[in-house]
Structure 1
Amino acid sequence: MGTSVEMGAAEDGRYEQWARRSGPPDNEVPVVVPVSAVLGRGDGVAVVLAGVAAASNSFSLTIGVQLRQQPEDDDLPRQVTASGPVQGHLLLGLEDADGRRVSTVQHAGWPPQVEDTTLTMTGRGGGGGGRIYDQEYWVSPLPADGPLRVVVRWDARGVPETVTEVDGAAVAAAGRGAVELWPWEAAVEPDHEEDRGRRPTDGWFSQP
């Protein structure tokens, strides 16, 4: 029993750590970084860096896709937003100046095995239609001083593997300027015992 409790506590700690790094801090206002770039091009398609915003311990990348003509198939949204070894999807990778790497091909596993020094990238919201699509990723921690290499490849759309360097020091400096609204606090887990109030008070369904 003692071992189970200890493992559960460890998993809770890893989950809390992952939750803090997989999205924008809910107690901060991130700083927009004035950077944009064409990351890769194919015949009638461009992959662009459409936006960067930095918080105190992490930052977002918004990857945009612009098409010259309306796509003839309806598989484009999946190709842009998919992660893992999905056939035909847009591959995105990051390499920090200190050599740490992360990409959309990797799977983090569960519970997440992340340390403060591990480079992580989590897909957030995305969408679009017609000839413009985008996908946001949240990356942690902030980049080291030096070039942050952004690597894209999209075989299904004829975009060759292309490397673009972004000023990691500028992103980190922006993060240090993020506005803290209030001290960070761990989210309160919902009390699932409250669900029992929806059960009948007698008979078979009254039992958990």
Structure 2
Amino acid sequence: MEFFTAPPPRERKPEKREKRSPWIGPPEDFVGAAIPLDLALFHSETLAIVLTDALVFPEGVRLNVRMAARRSEEIDDETWWDRHERLFTFHGRHRSSLDEGIRLGVRFSDGSKATTVDGALDHTGDGPPPRPDGPVLHCRRSGSSSGSDDFLSAHWPLWLWPLPPPEPFEFAVEWPLFEAPLTFTEVDGAPIAAAAERAHPYWP
């Protein structure tokens, strides 16, 4: 007689997969078209923020922002480690306050704008947030961060919806905690719009 016997098989009910709304993030069944950008959003002796590249989809674009900070002799231990902590806790459920966190945004030629702090996707009801009235810019996941006693770095993947028009638009950054004032950088929307034609599904 066997001592160990397998339990009876569990009945598995098929799960219905809801299609992701385009303002929430890129379609999961598409291959995005990558384009380099390499735009310095802010640069000082101690801080650099760069818009490195984009992954373009038919209805939106993922913008990759990278940041690096180095410690100067004027920054004491308390200030440095406070910045270190804020960098690691900026995103997610316990996001830092507006005064402490980095602020990122875009502004189109018609005056419409979207920022990472405007709460465009805030929603308390069941199901996904309803279709926003205007453009949306948000960090889809927490990104990645690393740091030591004299250097910090971070990567933030941002989702911009809808796809920007094929004309220049502005990318804004501001981070008082790291002494970065409000700074605008022009981004050419034409290559982004053109790249959307190269995005394609995994399976035709």
Equivalence for 2:25: 23
Return 35-44 or 48-57, whichever deviates more. Answer: 35-44
Unaligned runs of 5+ in 2: 1-17, 73-79
Counterpart code for 1:22? I
Considering only aligned residues, what root-mean-square deviation do their CA atoms show, in Å? Answer: 2.5
List per-residue Cα deviations over 1:163-195 (Å, max 9, x = no partner).
001111111111121022247xxxxxxxxxxxx
Change (3 A) 1:25 1:129: same
Change (3 A) 1:166 1:63: same
Q: Distance in 2 between matches of 1:97 and 1:65?
A: 26
TM, length-normalised to structure 2: 0.72
Equivalence for 1:150: 171
Q: Distance in 2 between matches of 1:154 and 1:42?
A: 12
TM, length-normalised to structure 1: 0.71
Counterpart code for 2:169? L
Aligned length: 167
Change (3 A) 1:50 1:34: closer
Counterpart code for 1:127? S
Shift of residue 80, structure 1, vs aligned partner: 6.5
Equivalence for 1:114: 131
Check the 8 A contact 1:84/1:107 in 2, yes or no.
no
- Of 104, 124, 136, the residue aligned with 2:116 is 104
Change (3 A) 1:83 1:167: farther
Equivalence for 1:78: 89
**Which has the larger helix fraction?**
1
Q: Distance in 1 between matches of 2:19 and 2:135?
A: 13
- Residue identity over aligned pairs, in percent, reads 28
